[in-house]
Amino acid sequence: MAGRISEAIVANRESHLTIFEPEEWAALPEAAKQELAAGVKLDGAPQGTGLIKRGDKGWYLMMVTWPEVDALRAKYGLPPKPLHVTVGKASGAAERKPTAPETPDVQADDGDN
């Protein structure tokens, strides 16, 4: 059936968009971090543009565009960033081990693996 994932998947436990990568966050001036930590309201809404399967790891990702996120990143001197929401993984995929320490994410009020 068109538009359906052709294999069993395990749903992701959370959904979020990572707006700043850990190394980008670390490089921000302290004033910018404080401003972001105080809260950010983003207008608009993320728009799904398609579903992909990431390599042999078996992760299914919904690709997303959100112009207001691009504008927020530009405010802090960062380029646009390809966004995605992890939908789930193929039921036979190996567990992913974190490669970097967790950092605060700026998230929409509604999650990246």
Residue 84 structure tokens: 């995605």
d(CA 38, CA 20): 16
**pLDDT truncated to tens, each residue of the chain (113 aa)?**
456 666 666 666 677 788 999 999 999 999 999 999 999 999 988 888 877 777 666 777 888 899 999 999 999 999 999 998 887 777 665 454 444 444 444 444 444 44
Q: How many C-beta atoms lie closer than 10 Å to residue 73's C-beta?
A: 17
- Are 64 and 112 within 8 A, CB to CB? no
Enumerate residues 6+ apart whose C-beta is below 8 A from 49: 63, 64, 65
Enumerate residues 6+ apart whose C-beta is below 8 A from 48: 62, 63, 64, 85
* pTM, full prediction: 0.65
Residue 33 structure tokens: 């971090």
Enumerate the domain spans of the chain.
9-90
Q: How many C-beta atoms lie closer than 10 Å to residue 44's C-beta?
A: 12
